[in-house]
Amino acid sequence: MDLKGLEAVAKTIRALSIDAIEKANSGHPGLPMGCAEIGAYLFGEVLNINPKDTSWFGRDRFILSAGHGSMLLYSLMHLAGYEDVTIDEIKKFRQLKSKTPGHPEYGWTDGVETSTGPLGQGFANSVGMAIAGKRHAARFNKEGFELFSGRIFTLVGDGDLMEGISYEAGSIAGHLALNNLIAIYDSNRISIEGPVDITLSESVRKRFEAFNWHVIDVDGHSLDSIKRGFDEAEIARIKHNRPVLIIADTIIGKGSPNKEDSNTCHGAPLGKDELEKTKKNLGITSDFFVDPAAVDYFGKKMAEKRNKYDSWKSMFNEWKGKYPELNELFNKNFARDIDASAFQNLPAFAPNSMHSTREASNKVLNAICKDIDFVVSGSADLACSTMTVIKESGDISSKNFLAHNIQYGVREHAMGAIANGLYLYGGVLPIVGTFLSFVNYMRPTLRMAALMRIPTIFLYSHDSIYVGEDGPSHHPIEHISELRLIPNMNVMRPCDPEETKIAWELALTSKHTPSTIITTRQKVRTLDYSKLESYTNAKRGGYILKRESKKDKIDMIFIATGSEVSLVLDVAEKLESEGYSIRVVNMFSTYLFDHESAEYRESVLPSNIEKRVAVEAGVSMTWYKYVGLKGDVIGIDKFGISGKAEDVGVFFKFTNEDVYNRVKIVLNK
């Protein structure tokens, strides 16, 4: 261990962090100053990385779950030679379009493994990455060819471990014995409001020991102690077959004479006077100081790391020659491409036959994925109801990572973030499911998937009041509209089994947009498309399902989605028998429709037709965008009621007669 070199790195981290934050007049100096020695040792002595090949499959991964401490990461990335993080970019910390945004952003700064900031998300992402790593090791490693021996490191703070997601994610990590996962806990005993003991008195050690983790204590400012901790972690994770938590006793803002060990340096610049005093205390002689000894240290260390990288590449090339069939599978998995032929021989559903779309969804999913290795599906203890199970595969366990199903338990929040981590690792396309009424347990993870532009697939069943007897707590009145409000989220609500095929094709082939598929508990009628437009038009989001009977005359446009489509078609048929010319538009996905051209949208919803009625068994607010102020929305703007599904439908006036009467009012205006 080059003690002087590591001390120079720690000094540089503190120097760059306090200057960048001061220049930005915004940021969090406390964590980078408090974790400088830990970061120096981790990046210098532990991580197997290659900044010139940030997508190297065999690398270790580092996730800064405490993303507010981003200057720790940027300082280290700069010293390690990541091309995006130059000294000029550090000087532009938190400025518009800089490569050093306030919190690390996946896809924006090359080398950042995941977007972090919402506390606990990164920790749960790391659990997903660890599962993916174990899965690939089980699939591709052979004796003498350890392609996937990379470890997942994550730095967490008190806030991460107070968030409920950390309990869920830590529990499943211990249950699955993810011994490729090492978390470092920055235990500085300070939160934004003051000492952490104003809100937290439990033993984090005992909590993680109960999770089946191996726990190690270190002095976060002693490089000797840090070395001992990481050495023990490497031995213990193999010997005990467990994930490891390193509890680092640190001082927030270490080096600031008047603000260290205080909440005053958590989320604000030190201030000019304290900045100068801190620099004097640390022996920093210039602005944006980079110690030459730190540069020399990383120059030597990165050469060593490149040698390890070159050895891995040689091993990989030898493996490819020795195992050509595995190499073909490897390429397929990491490309995550599904051949178009997989969508051509799907189950047939007879016109007018009755199926719930959750049942149809499972049949379609299994037909598509029967020969696809990289799809992994899971549910929050509801797979038998959401029907997300990939059959004839079994469940992933600590002894079998090659199955295609994950039992997440009742852990919706962590489930979504773990799925995002599975995708981010590479070579896995995750599907997760639960009841739609529980979606808000997962809302932060949905948002992060959309923000990172990763195509995680979320399936939510039991989509409306037709859940019935479970009552208002399980009736997802507002949930679909909430999901549609998330930017870059494709929410698809198929009306029948045929449209369900389209939903899965779009979800499984998406590249930069997460997909949400909404399915029914109750049976719905498979439409007779011989009398309608093709359901394949659902790929455009909203489409004309039934054209008006009179050429060049539209008396009214019906807009519907999901299980309400068949209801609208029945009412439209009755109105047509009375001489009206009715167009029915199926709004399968508002996201896809809104991304179509203005010309196409005008062709579906002509602006000169003001008489429009939207029908959906959920809140009405978001539909006025499509019906206008002169249209009407038949929705539900209050909570549900317990009762048989049919009776609940009658109670909320979702019957042919009630919809017909409402529409006649619009027609007679």
| Region for residue 543 given its phi and psi (left: phi exceeds 0; alpha: psi -120 to 50; beta: otherwise) | beta
DSSP string, 77-128: HHHHT-TT--HHHHHTTTSTT-SS-SS--TTTSTT--S---STTHHHHHHHH
Alpha helices in 272-411 (DSSP H): 272-282, 292-322, 324-335, 357-369, 383-386
The single-letter code of the amino acid at 179 is N
Of 210, 244, 177, which Cα lies nearest the Cα of 401?
177
Instruction: Give dist(CA 486, CA 483) in Å, integer.
Output: 6
d(CA 537, CA 593): 11
Q: Give dist(CA 263, CA 302) in Å, integer.
A: 36
Cβ atoms 119, 159 nearer than 8 A:
yes
* Helix, strand, coil shares, percent, the chain, to 5: 45, 15, 40
**CA 376-183-218 angle, 5° bins:** 165
CA distances from 179 to 136, 175, 206, 458, 516 (A): 14, 11, 18, 27, 32
Signed CA dihedral, 381, 356, 659, 499: sign only: positive
CB of 67 closer than 8 Å to CB of 157: no
Active site residues per annotation: 412
Backbone angles phi, psi at 90, to 5 degrees: -65, -35
Give the DSSP letter string of 465-484: GGG-TT-GGG--SSHHHHHH
User: In degrees, to the nearest 5, what angle opens at C-alpha 386 toward C-alphas 382 and 391?
Assistant: 90
Reading the block at residue 524, the tokens are 């719905």
